[in-house]
Structure 1
Amino acid sequence: MSAHFSPAAFKFLRGLARNNDREWFNERKPVYEQELKAPMLDLINQINEAFVDFAPDFIRPAHKSLMRIYRDIRFAKDKRPYKTNVAAWWARQGLEKTSGGGFYFEINATHITIAAGVYMPEREQLLAIRRHLLDHHEELRGLFSAKKTLALLTPFDGLKLTRAPKGFPADHPALDLILQRQWGVSAQLPADLALTPKLTGEIVKRFKAAAPIVDLLNAPLVRRPSKPLF
């Protein structure tokens, strides 16, 4: 049976948004475990099964892809301890501890977010991707503008710089892409979709369309085996 959520999951998320404190959460932790965490792990496993066909390097144990509901508040002004969503992130094998390209899914009380690409690359990764795009910008543009992609997803705005980064020519045809600090595609869908067995298929359909974009962005970040000398 295709994984999906219950109305109790949304009730919990709405309540958490109003009562974001440890006492409220701890009293209802069994609800979180049963209505949100358990179906989320089922969903991740079903997506992993689909990844076999088009993104096998992103298959990870479900608990590794599931993002914690606990916020890191050590250096944050906002001291609310919990996120008001449940989410998953599929990183490529070998890039798990960095910010390479991957696949993302989130459900909150009002909508679903599906995204894929590079969101917050580390400094060295940012430089590597920009250099890669000097020679592969036309390929990335083609993937972004493909009818199948645009029918399902919207390209990121990219958080663009106002001028060319140091070391990059201001007149290069890839400049608009080089100015970006993130690259990828996303979609927002009605939260009610999460209540139906169609959820997994709608996510997989969009992840499959975005997979070539993720692969292109990861290409300069993945270490390939050295060629034998003899």
Structure 2
Amino acid sequence: MPAHFTPEAFKFLRGLKRNNDRTWFNDRKHIYETQLKAPMLALITEINEHLLDFAPHHIRPAQKIMMRIYRDIRFSTDKRPYKLNVAAWWAREGLEKTSGGGYYLDLNNETITIAAGVYMPERDQLLAIRRHLLDHHEDFRRIVSNKKFKAAFNEFDGRKLTRAPKGFPTEHPALDLILHRQWGVSTHLPTGRALLPTLAKDIATHFRLAAPLVDLLNTPLTPKPRKPLF
């Protein structure tokens, strides 16, 4: 049966928002496990099957793609122990521990967020993408100007700089893209879509449209295969 959620999942998230503490969560952990974690893992597995066609290098076991609900509060003044969503991140093979391009899914009590691209890249990745865009900005624009792409995603906000980064030309046709500090797109679906058996297909359709963008951004970040010695 296609993966989807039940109203009980959203009831749990609403309760967690009001009672973000360990006692409340532990008393209802079985609800989280059965109504949120298990359906999310099943959903990821189903989406992985779709990714075989257009993003095979982003497939990993569902347990590694699903993000933890536990917040890292070690260095935060906000000591609430739990996130208010269930989320997944499809990193590219070889870039799992970095901020390379990937696909993101977030389900909370109010909306479903679908996103793709590069967010919070490391310094060397930021430099590599900017250099790549100097020569491939036309490819980037061709992807994001596609009619189906524009209909599926919101216009991206790249957290722009106010001036050209050091070492880059101040006058270049790619300057508007070089000013960005991240490159990605997103959209939101109503939570009611999470209750339908078409959920995985809906998400995969968006991921497929974003695949050329993710691939372009990952090109300068992906380790090149070694040439044989003989």
Q: Does 1:132 align with 2:132?
A: yes
Map 1:1-230 onto structure 2 (within 5 A): 1-228=1-228
Contact 1:69 1:83 in 2 (8 A): yes
Give structure 1 regions of 4+ aligned residues with deviation exceeding 2 angstroms. Answer: 226-230
In structure 2, what is the Cα distance between the partners aligned to 1:197 and 1:6? Answer: 11
Cα deviation, 1:16-71, whole Å, max 9, x if unaligned, reads 00100111101000000000000000000001011111100001000000000000
RMSD over aligned CA atoms reads 0.9
Contact 1:156 1:182 in 2 (8 A): no
Alpha-carbon shift at residue 184 of structure 1 (Å): 1.4
In structure 2, what is the Cα distance between the partners aligned to 1:77 and 1:172? Answer: 43
Q: Say how many residue pairs are matched.
A: 230
Which piece of structure 1 moves more, 11-20 or 146-155?
A: 146-155
- The unaligned stretches of length 5 or more in structure 2 are none
Which piece of structure 1 moves more, 130-139 or 152-161?
A: 152-161
Contact 1:36 1:86 in 2 (8 A): yes
- In structure 2, the residue corresponding to 1:54 is in which secondary structure? coil
- In structure 1, the residue corresponding to 2:181 is in which secondary structure? coil
Compute the TM-score of the two structures, normalised by the length of structure 1. Answer: 0.98
What amino acid is aligned across from residue 224 of structure 1 in structure 2?
K
In structure 1, what is the Cα distance between the partners aligned to 2:155 and 2:123? Answer: 22
In structure 2, what is the Cα distance between the partners aligned to 1:85 and 1:2? Answer: 21
- In structure 2, the residue corresponding to 1:42 is in which secondary structure? helix
- The unaligned stretches of length 5 or more in structure 1 are none
What amino acid is aligned across from residue 187 of structure 1 in structure 2?
T
In structure 2, what is the Cα distance between the partners aligned to 1:24 and 1:228? Answer: 58
- In structure 2, the residue corresponding to 1:154 is in which secondary structure? coil
Alpha-carbon shift at residue 228 of structure 1 (Å): 4.0
In structure 1, what is the Cα distance between the partners aligned to 2:226 and 2:8? Answer: 52
In structure 1, what is the Cα distance between the partners aligned to 2:147 and 2:72? Answer: 39
In structure 2, what is the Cα distance between the partners aligned to 1:58 and 1:147? Answer: 25
- In structure 1, the residue corresponding to 2:159 is in which secondary structure? coil
Contact 1:117 1:184 in 2 (8 A): yes
What amino acid is aligned across from residue 129 of structure 1 in structure 2?
I
Contact 1:155 1:183 in 2 (8 A): no
Quick one: percent identity of the two aligned structures?
A: 70
Compute the TM-score of the two structures, normalised by the length of structure 2. Answer: 0.98
Alpha-carbon shift at residue 214 of structure 1 (Å): 0.2
